């Protein structure tokens, strides 16, 4: 299996599909791994693009480091992968926490190698409710996630899969297999990494990173997202990025790569090829 080794010796696993087409990097959500993007990676590779998806450190097949489970290191790990593969004219696609990772990459490393940006159900600009970020998600919500992670993380992941992540509590028809895959990927994440990443995706202020985005950007968000509410995530990100294109999926849940697979694939391809 292919790995890139970071400056601190961590091994970052990645998949690289599709040959010599224009590169697309797919960054996954918490607490998943590159497998969450397999359907999109296969679709994009079949349509002439080079699809690359990595396991964030602490997740999946990458090293479970004790330290570095925060956005600065995640972004630098992504830069290490991009530099290792010597990629240019990249389309960066991030779902949920992955959206934070890719905009933080731009904030720390710029857009010299980036052609386009896609945020899907993404955590920027800032999820956590603060004095300077009202009408957002209260701290108690993330403390509840941490409590579930610490006490019985296996059940936490089942509850998320059977409830708000895919909108299954709204009577969606997401399959048992997809929900099982969510649980399996989540359990492959290191316990410390999963716990610490809750702070990384919820409390990192991505507003300075969004201010540095100067490439064509597509923002996709469901208006019934129970994890990253539309008004907190996609709506604000689209407003913060000049000329960003916003697509709102009516009644869309958080897990759009699975719940709206065909539509999302078509929208990604149209934007990348435009």
Position of tokens 């509840």? Answer: 144
Can you give the pLDDT at residue 173?
Answer: 86
For residue 31, the SS3 value is coil
How confident is the model over 205-227, as pLDDT tens digits?
999 999 999 999 999 999 999 99
pLDDT band at 19 (very low <50, low <70, confident <90, very high): confident
Of the residues 225, 237, 258, 267, only one is catalytic, namely 225
- Asked if residues 122 and 234 have their Cβ atoms less than 8 Å apart, the reply is yes
Given the residues 27, 62, 63, 96, select the one marked as catalytic.
Answer: 96
For residue 172, pLDDT beyond 80: no
If pLDDT is split at 50, 70 and 90, which confidence band does 230 have? very high
* Residues above pLDDT 70, as percent of the chain: 100
- pLDDT-based confidence at residue 46 (cuts at 50, 70, 90): very high
**Residues 194, 186: contact at Cβ < 8 Å?**
yes
Indicate the pTM of the whole model.
0.98
Alpha carbons 206 and 74: distance in angstroms, whole number: 14
From the number of C-beta atoms within 10 Å of its C-beta (0-12, 13-18, 19+), residue 173 rates as exposed
**Is residue 154 annotated as part of the catalytic site, yes or no?**
no
Select 3-273's CATH number: 3.65.10.10, 3.30.750.24, 3.40.50.1820, 3.40.50.800.
3.40.50.1820
152-166: pLDDT as tens digits: 999 999 999 999 999
Do you find a cis peptide bond into 31, omega within 30 degrees of 0?
Answer: yes
Query: Distance (Å, rounded) from C-alpha 72 to C-alpha 157?
Result: 26
Alpha-carbon span 197 to 145, nearest angstrom: 11
Mean pLDDT of the chain: 97
Domain ranges of the chain: 3-273
Model pLDDT for residues 72-116, shown as the tens digit of each residue: 999 999 999 999 999 999 999 999 999 999 999 999 999 999 999
Tens digits of per-residue pLDDT, 179-197?
999 999 999 999 999 999 9
Question: Quick one: angle between helices 261-273 and 38-46, nearest 10?
Answer: 40
Active site residue 112: no
From 62, 254, 258, 267, active-site residue: 254
Is residue 171 pLDDT above 90, yes or no? no
Task: Give pLDDT, residue 1.
Answer: 75
Q: With contact defined as beta carbons under 8 Å apart, do 34 and 6 qualify?
A: no
**Residue 45 tokens, joined:** 């590779």
225 is catalytic: yes
Q: CA of 49: how far to CAs of 22, 57, 69, 212, in Å?
A: 5, 25, 30, 26
Task: Tell me the average pLDDT across 255-267.
Answer: 98
Structure token pair of residue 7: 């400056």
């Amino acid at each position: 299996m292919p790995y890139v080794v970071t400056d601190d010796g961590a091994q970052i696993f990645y998949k690289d599909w599709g040959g010599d087409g224009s590169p697309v990097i797919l960054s996954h959500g918490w607490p998943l791994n590159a497998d969450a993007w397999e359907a999109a990676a296969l679709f994009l590779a079949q349509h002439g693009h080079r699809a690359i998806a990595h396991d964030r450190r602490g997740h999946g097949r990458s090293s479970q480091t004790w330290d570095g489970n925060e956005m600065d290191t995640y972004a630098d790990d992504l830069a290490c992968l991009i530099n290792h593969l010597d990629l240019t004219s990249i389309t960066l696609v991030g779902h949920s926490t992955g959206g934070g990772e890719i905009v933080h990459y731009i904030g720390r490393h710029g857009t010299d190698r980036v052609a386009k940006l896609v945020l899907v159900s993404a955590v920027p600009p800032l999820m956590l409710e603060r004095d300077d970020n009202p009408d957002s998600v209260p701290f108690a919500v993330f403390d509840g996630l941490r409590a579930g992670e610490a006490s019985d993380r296996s059940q936490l992941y089942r509850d998320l899969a059977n409830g708000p992540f895919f909108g299954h509590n709204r009577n969606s028809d997401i399959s048992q297999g997809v929900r099982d895959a969510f649980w399996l990927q989540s359990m492959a994440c290191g316990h410390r990494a999963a716990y610490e990443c809750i702070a990384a995706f919820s409390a990192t202020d991505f507003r300075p990173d969004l201010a540095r985005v100067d490439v064509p950007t597509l923002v996709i968000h469901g208006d019934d997202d129970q994890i990253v509410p539309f008004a907190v995530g996609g709506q604000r990100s689209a407003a913060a990025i000049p000329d960003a294109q916003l697509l709102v999926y009516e009644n869309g849940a958080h897990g759009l790569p699975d719940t709206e697979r065909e539509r999302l694939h078509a929208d990604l391809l149209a934007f990348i090829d435009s």
